[in-house]
Chain A
Amino acid sequence: MSASLRIIADKDVVLSSIPVGDGAPPDSPAHQEGLPGGLRVDFAASGDSQAFRGEGWSGQERDAVWTLGACSTMRLPPPPDGQTLILELDINPALCLPVVRAQILTVRVNGQTLGWQRVTGPTRLRCRIGPGLCKPGEPIDVAFEHPGFLRLDLLGKGGDDRALAIRFFGLRLYPVALGIAIDRLMPLRPGLERRDLYPPPAPPAAHATPPADRVIYQFGSSELETGASGRDCLLDGWHIDADGLVWSVATTCHLDLPMPAGPGPHILRLGLSPLLVRDVLPAQRMAVIVDGLLLGQFRLHGETALSIALPAGLDDGRPSLVLALMFPDAMPLRGFANGDPDHALGIALDWIAVETVPAQLRIAASLRGDGLDRRRPAIASERFVDVPDDALAAEIERELGVKPAELMRGFESLGDNCAFGLAQRKAGAEILGLLRFANTPLRALLRGLADNFKAATAKSEIELYLHPDGDPREYMLRIARYGIRWHTLVHEPDAPAETVAQEQIMKLGFLRRKFEEGLRGGRKIYAMARSEPKKIEVAMPGWGAPPTATTITTGTGTGSRGPLQLMPVWDAPMTYEEAPPPLSQAEAMSVLLDLNRAGPNSLLYLVPCMAGRRAGTVELLAPGLMRGHMASFVIRPEEGSPNDLDWLRVAANAWLLHREARARFGAAAAA
């Protein structure tokens, strides 16, 4: 059974409910001989579309072909010279009613945007191609952009894991003079709507770099200092519990946010914490829909902050944005002693921010951040990946004109853990960095950035304590407001606590000022990862619990019924470590936006090798945003750890791409 037939069974999912053939009677010349004076492409299995289709298409189905991902391409034969042409599409969007009600389709020809349309049902879409767009004798490259693609499996609607957006039934390309004849030959079927493209939105003025306007709506947390209560924005599907947490309690929840002011583009930011239950509900799926358009589908593995681009064209005079969140995995509370039978918990919503995207991040902000678009970024560097370890330093110096130590000084670690800071040390770069030896989970980092790390200069907010492990024990610093911890690299016997506190607080204040200056200067590449293992407390161990200590203190072994002492495994809490989920692009974008509040800065975020990328490779996703691939994030203080040099390779490739981006997009855009 084909996927499309399977999905039609779900009444809410509209994938191909109405036949959208081009309407040409089977015995018409159009069917028998093609389109006189033009081109007719039939996407049915019996048709000829395969000869014209490029990237971004799913497999052939009986009567049509789906687009895959955010962009699909076609190459059409050269047109007759000097004529205005009509490109006509018979299409149907992938929807999930009543929430996902439309797909945005943008049509580009030979690199130029013709326009866009909001496709809400079976549609005959007309695009006018001016004579200047096509060169005589050269084929026409058509790109269809459909960033609102959806995956039904992530919506909880079956198992189809294709990223679907638009289903193509037919395409015609003909001179404008043939329009009337074509209408007669191929009349609209009932249910098919004829539409023309809207012109492309005017590009924002290049010089316009408005200060990042930001409106924050607080729901259950006060981690961002400013911001009004957003509780008035809550529509259906929410519940505020006794602790003040705002829970989604339905599989679809709505909010009504005021329309952002200003010309845009705007980005939507969500701070949330999903309900997870180990072994039962390890992740929650969430879809974000604005005004009927699906903007992202995420798997939530823990507390997070996501940035999602708002499409152009929303500010058409309406007073508000209706935001829908779908949680197909929401956990029903029905049946518990105190559970509301109507509640199904998805997330605790902390805050929402809507902000203007600064000019230098417009490309980065327009990317879909959920990682479902499988296209590889156009620019990637694998330059130093194959260079042998012993030749790497010389090769970097030859290619980039800097020594490894100098190269690594151009980066500032945003923490997570100390790995990048150690990599800098191993390369000979001993620099002062606020977060270089800090433990900064994503949300903690964002709290600090939002607050400009003011607490790092407030003695009352900084706590000195001894790390419970290690001999001798190390002094640590903690700022509870952000949830950030710092190594001091000073140990218990080295100095009394009062002295350490005094010195470290002074040092932290200095580093904070330096960090702020760095952000304003915009010269460094900021690096971050999520590699710190999560410590999970073991639930009651079953048979086969981990081995216990080899000595016990019962002193019995004889069967004496003296005071009982359990085996150590039962006495002490046990934890195990679990690798964290990699950072997503939407999360990295959140950090990048905050880094760019003070100045144009670039971010390199590191992920475990994915999509066939080798360790050391870096991709330029957009000016200002790079993704580096690592085989392992483990780095040991001693010399010669197996992957020591991968850090250097990643840094060198990031440096190279950063330089490349400056050359391609200009210094301002390249941040």
Chain B
Amino acid sequence: MIRYLVPFSVMETWLRRYAPADSDELDMPYPHYLALIRRFLECVPVDEAWYLQSYPGVAGAIAGGVFRSAAHHFLALGYFEKRLPFAADRTDLRQPIPFADIRAATAIHPVRGGLRVRMSMAGWMDILRHLLGSVPVDEGWYRQTYPGVDKAIDSGAFVSAAAHFVQHGYGECRWPFAMAVEEAWYLDRYPDVARAMTEGAAHSAEEHFWQIGYREGRFPASRPAA
């Protein structure tokens, strides 16, 4: 499955719309807050077989067309219902921070018709760090792709690629893992890139996505994450 993580540049721009000018206080509708959290859960791997076996009711909902997959269910509901995406004893992956912990760090305010979340940018960054903790950083790929980080880990500055990614890498718009680009779809979706290629300014969709497209908020492929 093609994986994707919303880049820091996009997240920061998106959050700015909820903060009055020159303020670090966020004020956003609660559903938007949930959507923001979901964007970071999209790349958490969901063990389809384990999930369906552990939560038998989900299979029926998928068969009934309510959800596309276990991953879709997890993202839409399961996470918020305290369901796990994979077995608790998996040592190769880290479980996402429980939603109850996020709730406990979230101040909500009922307003006419709905709920709003009000928190400082620093408060959100704390939650974000926990969310990033469950992003499956590809240690080998990350160290190979970012030699400077490799050296820093060797020197003991960071315990792992995952630790670097959470502390610095995400804020620098680095990739946690390789993201495959669907060449034809990308050029069709982004005609300016296709034009740039015909003018010789870019060589491939993959190169464009790697060099600038990811940070600009482009998507690498048509397939949804779940």
Contacts and interface: CB of A to CB of B under 8 A. Distances in A.
Interface of A: 241, 243, 245, 247, 273-280, 302-303, 331, 333, 335-339, 345, 348, 537, 539-540, 542-545, 547, 550-552, 554, 556-561, 564-567, 569-571, 573
A77 to B, nearest CB: 49
A276 B29 CA distance: 11
28 contacts: A245-B111, A275-B110, A276-B114, A277-B31, A280-B34, A303-B113, A335-B100, A335-B104, A337-B103, A337-B106, A337-B107, A537-B29, A540-B11, A540-B39, A542-B38, A542-B42, A542-B224, A543-B4, A543-B225, A550-B191, A557-B208, A558-B211, A565-B216, A566-B10, A566-B13, A566-B216, A567-B216, A570-B14
Interface in B69-90: 76, 80
B145 to A, nearest CB: 15
B217 A569 contact: yes
Given A275-B114, A539-B32, A559 B211 contact: yes
A547 B112 contact: no
Contacts of A303: 112-113
Given A556-B212, A557-B193, A559-B208, A273 B38 contact: no
Given A345-B110, A543-B225, A550-B192, A560 B212 contact: yes
Contacts of A333: 108
A558 B203 CA distance: 8
Classify chain B: how many residues form its interface, as a range. Answer: 35 or more
Contacts of B178: none
B143 interface: no
A559 B202 contact: yes
Interface SS, B side: helix
Interface of B: 4, 6, 9-11, 13-14, 17, 29-32, 34-36, 38-39, 42, 76, 80, 100, 103-115, 189, 191-193, 195-197, 201-202, 207-208, 210-212, 215-219, 222-225
A573 B13 CA distance: 11
A545 B215 CA distance: 16
Contacts of A543: 4, 42, 219, 223-225
A71 to B, nearest CB: 36
A280 B76 CA distance: 9
Contact of B9 (A273, A338, A560, A564): A564
Contacts, number: 141
Q: Is the interface of A mostly helix, strand, loop or mixed?
A: loop
A543 B110 CA distance: 30
B34 A279 contact: yes
Contact of B216 (A275, A276, A302, A554): A554
Given A539-B34, A567-B217, A567-B218, A559 B112 contact: no
A245 B200 CA distance: 62
